[in-house]
Structure 1
Amino acid sequence: MNDRTVIGAGTWTARARASFKRQVVWPAAGRLLRTPVWDAALVGYAVVASAGSRPGSRTDAAPLSLRWIDPDRSIYDALPPTPERPRIGCVEGGDWDLIDDRFADRAVPQAIDLRFREGYEWAETPLPAHVRDQVERFGDAWGHVEDAVERRCRAIEELYESMRTDGYLTQATLAARGTSGPGPPPVPTLGEITVDVGRDGRLCWRRNGQHRLAIARVLGIERVPVLIARRHAAWQAIRDRIREDGTMVIEPTLRGHPDLADLCGSGRIDVA
């Protein structure tokens, strides 16, 4: 049933389910999970369960390491149509990376660009329609139903001011300060901007942090941290070759790629 779940003699609407999850389930789960033991268990699940047990399905890279990228580089949009497991450290072949959609063309980045670069009012951007669509499809939008548009606009304004004042801070830094917002993941790294890497090294935004990434582009922030979830098998083959034969085999066009920094000793990598 799409819009209602039958419970006994009554029904729960999508809005009621979302409210129950937001007010009861997630706070309780968050309290339970915010312990070192559960942190370790979650990392283990994300790393092991994300790729299964197929031979060659794992990357050689440290799965929770952060790469630092130029937010202005060309980034594609690989957001799955429905929520999926993190797939952290997964190596996968196929044509999933042959996409033309760009991150910058998404409704949220477009709205942020219009608001902060061009000075449009939020009502004149794609954001209100996008938020209402989220509520219609999923029962809430970023945890809100009532006044969801106003809340989202206000949250983005606050995030913009924070990043303009303090720069881009990692989720671990925000968690240590106690300013990571409601419902942060028990392992802060899992809340970073998450991308996939295609066969040719293209970065494909997958989940988390689209507001942060879009604002970083507007503010001209030079580098932002990303967590790599999935790598294409052909790209992993490039990593394997470099690891086995040395950096001399790197094609000139790939020198400086953020996902080769751990093999080349260049660029910044934070290992969790």
Structure 2
Amino acid sequence: MSLFVEMYNFAHNIIKQTILPWGRYAYNWWQYGPGIARPGELINVDPREIEYVMIDCKFNHRAKKTHAYIKGGDWDRNYLDDGLMFVGSDEGFDELGLVPVEDYGFYTSLRNHFEKGLPWEETEIYKHFSDNPRPPDRTYPLTRDDRPHRGGKYATKDVLDEEFSRIDDLYEHMKEYGYLTQRELREREDAPYSAKNVAPASDEVLVNIGRSGNIIFDEGRHRFAVARILGLESIPVKVLVRHENWQAIRREVARTDSTAELSDRSRRYLDHPDIRPLV
């Protein structure tokens, strides 16, 4: 690799992982005041208490994982009747909304495999990719988005078997060592699904928080699903999007000198994992 390429990559990473996230932080502070989460900030949540999956993940894939966003609207109340097999698949949802975790085929397939001993080949998710292979020489639209996605990850049975074998490795690794952050995983050579070449916090499990503090799964399906199946009580996650009404509660808590001065509405959330760091 030439010196120019190394310098370019270094500058690109500085801009992407530091300058732009802090720029977004400053913009959010200017718009919403105190209570803005710092770039890379993580909170600890119980994965068993997350009931819904956001469709489409990362808000139509326009959001950047290193940033934190505040968004109004009814995205946190739009409950969809259809189930979902795989976030980012070709299932063609035409609206932003929520699907129950229990109707999320990727999660239920993993649960049936690990809890009931169902072979991978008999799970819904395996059959889905086996019946809908993605040749590497074609592109595919993402869910409700025209942005093309390269195939190849699940193009052949050998590749498919290798991918599901990695999920087995992830399960055993998490069962033995517990849930480790991406920063901690970087120090381990054998860690499956670890992000070696990105900012650690940008590849943690992503969640969104609705107006009433409801935590919604967004991305990081492998680690989220395995942690939930193992019954882990707490995992670190990064909040990608907060509803603007929820951010108003964070702002009130951040501004107060005494919790006794808080409104009844805000006082109800003092033990919420996204509020505790502000108290």
- With structure 1 as the length reference, what TM-score do the two structures score? 0.73
| Structure 1 position 153 matched with structure 2 position 164 | yes
Q: Specify the alignment match of 1:190 in structure 2.
A: 202
* 1:21-170 equivalent positions in 2, closer than 5 A: 33=9, 35=10, 37-43=11-17, 44-48=19-23, 56=31, 60-80=36-56, 82-86=60-64, 88-100=67-79, 101-132=99-130, 133=132, 135=134, 137=140, 138-140=149-151, 143-146=153-156, 147-170=158-181
- Cα RMSD (Å) of the superposition? 3.1
Shift of 1:145: 2.6
Contact 2:186 2:195 in 1 (8 A): no
Q: Report the AA paired with residue 112 of structure 1.
A: L
In structure 2, distance between residues paired with 1:75 and 1:134: 30
Q: Report the AA paired with residue 171 of structure 1.
A: Q
Contact 2:185 2:194 in 1 (8 A): no
In structure 1, distance between residues paired with 2:26 and 2:54: 17
Q: Specify the alignment match of 1:247 in structure 2.
A: 259
Q: Secondary structure at the match of 1:117?
A: helix
In structure 1, distance between residues paired with 2:196 and 2:107: 22
Q: Report the AA paired with residue 89 of structure 1.
A: A
Shift of 1:47: 4.7
Q: Secondary structure at the match of 1:60?
A: coil
In structure 1, distance between residues paired with 2:7 and 2:195: 10
Q: Specify the alignment match of 2:277 in structure 1.
A: 262
Q: Secondary structure at the match of 1:135?
A: coil
- Once the two structures are superposed, residues 81-106 of structure 1 have per-residue CA deviations (whole angstroms, 9 ceiling, x without a partner) of 64223262211111111133123421
Shift of 1:200: 0.6
Over 3 Å counting, the alpha-carbon distance change for 1:125 and 1:52 in structure 2 is farther
Q: Report the AA paired with residue 41 of structure 1.
A: I
* Matched residue count: 232
In structure 2, distance between residues paired with 1:117 and 1:140: 30
| Structure 1 position 206 matched with structure 2 position 181 | no
- With structure 2 as the length reference, what TM-score do the two structures score? 0.72
Shift of 1:45: 2.4
In structure 1, distance between residues paired with 2:245 and 2:56: 21
In structure 2, distance between residues paired with 1:151 and 1:47: 38
Q: Report the AA paired with residue 244 of structure 1.
A: R
In structure 1, distance between residues paired with 2:275 and 2:231: 24
Over 3 Å counting, the alpha-carbon distance change for 1:31 and 1:152 in structure 2 is farther
